[in-house]
């Protein structure tokens, strides 16, 4: 095993991939945890598609540069998030319906532009990312997003916890509670853009949601879920990259997400808060329940 890692580490593109996914795991872990806790898992998937038109327009205008993709995706993602909040506050539609409507429109626009651009767009790289071909600019982008995310969570963690656990109390104590939600959505968009270059538009949200849901089966505390989410994300990336190295025809992005899916399945079966824990608690209670039932019958 050590020889295998030494062999992989001898290649520059593998070193970049391991470093990039390690930093990315630390960045997406807190975002994914609060997506799960705030019941916004599908909103993360919607935002991943909502940035599509901005990314495509950025590519068509300025080519496959990190800056153009970042600016285009950021404008599209923040625009959809802001319009969703505006419609939710001022119309009869709730935020989930507004987001669903807007992301479908944005996705249709992105596909239309993608089709109009023709073969000039590297479709496979767009859909599945290119983690093994990461460049210096993309590595800097992932590092910058991780830095902004972790520093922001140092300030946003307490209000996010309060607004997640008791939103009514938080709204009563805060003049502009929507600012916290919009700041969180901005961090979501930034991390999706960082993951987009490495995992592609189809796989980007997978590294956020699957490790977070896996951690939820093992811990009932927010702190535990944050650390376990990072551990599952990091393990998924390293195992997925190893599989893609051993199996050259396997794309690295789907390999990473499938590995995260494997951790999710094991957590659901073996985790103390999953099916295994439920069966264990049931088996422990069953003799007591039978004894109580027999005692009642004797009393009667």
Q: What are the tens digits of pLDDT across the range 248-298?
A: 777 888 889 899 999 999 999 998 888 876 777 666 665 555 455 455 545
The number of CA neighbours under 13 Å toward the Cβ of 155 is: 10
The span from the CA of 69 to the CA of 142, in Å, is 13
The span from the CA of 225 to the CA of 217, in Å, is 9
pLDDT tier, 30 (very low <50, low <70, confident <90, very high otherwise): very high
3-state helix, strand, coil in the chain (%, to 5): 85, 0, 15
Q: What are the tens digits of pLDDT across the range 58-116?
A: 777 776 667 777 788 888 888 888 888 888 778 887 777 888 788 788 878 877 877 77
The span from the CA of 140 to the CA of 26, in Å, is 15
The span from the CA of 231 to the CA of 10, in Å, is 24
Q: What is the pTM of this model?
A: 0.82
Q: What are the tens digits of pLDDT across the range 214-226?
A: 999 999 888 999 9
Residue ranges covered by each domain of the chain: 18-294
Q: What are the tens digits of pLDDT across the range 225-248?
A: 999 999 999 999 999 999 888 887
* Percent of the chain's residues with pLDDT above 90: 21
Q: Are 259 and 236 in contact (CB under 8 A)?
A: yes
In the chain, what's the furthest Cα-to-Cα distance? 83
Q: Which residues contact 171 (CB under 8 A, 6 or more apart)?
A: 163, 177
The span from the CA of 266 to the CA of 77, in Å, is 33
Q: For the domain covering 18-294, report its CATH number.
A: 1.10.3470.10
What does the pLDDT average to over 44-61?
79
């Amino acid at each position: 095993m050590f020889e295998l890692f030494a062999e992989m580490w001898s290649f520059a593109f593998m070193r970049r991939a391991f470093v990039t996914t390690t930093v990315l795991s630390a960045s997406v872990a807190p975002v994914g945890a609060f997506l799960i806790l705030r019941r916004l898992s599908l909103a993360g998937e919607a935002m991943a598609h909502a940035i599509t038109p901005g990314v495509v327009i950025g590519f068509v205008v300025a080519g496959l540069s990190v800056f153009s993709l970042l600016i285009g995706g950021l404008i599209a993602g923040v625009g959809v998030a802001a319009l969703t909040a505006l419609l939710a506050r001022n119309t009869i539609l709730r935020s989930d319906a507004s987001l669903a409507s807007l992301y479908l429109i944005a996705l249709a626009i992105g596909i239309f532009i993608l089709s109009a651009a023709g073969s000039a767009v590297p479709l496979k790289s767009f859909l599945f990312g290119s983690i093994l071909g990461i460049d210096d600019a993309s590595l800097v982008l992932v590092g910058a997003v991780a830095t902004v995310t972790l520093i922001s969570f140092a300030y946003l963690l307490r209000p996010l916890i309060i607004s997640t656990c008791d939103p009514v109390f938080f709204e009563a104590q805060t003049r502009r509670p929507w600012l916290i939600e919009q700041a969180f959505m901005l961090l979501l968009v930034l991390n999706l853009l960082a993951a987009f270059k490495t995992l592609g538009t189809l796989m980007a949200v997978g590294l956020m949601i699957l490790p977070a849901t896996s951690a939820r089966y093992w811990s009932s505390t927010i702190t535990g879920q944050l650390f376990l989410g990072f551990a599952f994300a990091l393990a998924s990336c390293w195992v997925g990259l190893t599989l893609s190295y051993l199996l050259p025809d396997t794309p690295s992005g789907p390999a990473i997400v499938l590995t995260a899916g494997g951790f999710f399945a094991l957590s659901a079966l073996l985790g103390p808060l999953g099916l295994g824990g439920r069966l264990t608690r049931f088996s422990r209670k069953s003799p007591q329940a039978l004894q109580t039932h027999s005692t009642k019958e004797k009393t009667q």
